[in-house]
Amino acid sequence: MAKAAQNNDQALNAFIGAKASIDQMLGELQAMSNEHFNTHPDEINWADVGNVSRIERRLKELLDMLKMEGEYSK
């Protein structure tokens, strides 16, 4: 029983550490979004559209996974 509790504590600590890292990255992502991902709105080109579209697709995939939607629905 003690070993299982220790394993659960280790899993919880790893989860909390990963969540803290995600929270930090989300903050950085929001700050970069607020700055148009380091682009100037008057200078947007199709390469910038491609970059932001890749970000959008990856974020959508993550949200689909977490919400069990799209390809992750059962």
Domain that holds residue 64: 44-74
pLDDT 10s digits, 22-67: 999 999 999 999 999 999 989 999 999 999 999 999 999 999 999 9
Q: What is the pLDDT of residue 54?
A: 97
Look at residue 4 and tell me if it is in a domain.
yes
pTM: 0.80
Number of domains in the chain: 2
Residue 74 has pLDDT above 90, yes or no: no
Residue 1 has pLDDT above 80, yes or no: no
pLDDT-based confidence at residue 7 (cuts at 50, 70, 90): confident
Which single residue is written with the structure tokens 């995939």? 61
Say how far apart CA 67 and CA 32 lie, in whole Å: 25
Q: Can you state the percent helix, strand and coil of the chain, rounding each to 5?
A: 85, 0, 15
Q: What is the pLDDT of residue 21?
A: 98
- 58 lies in the same domain as 29: no
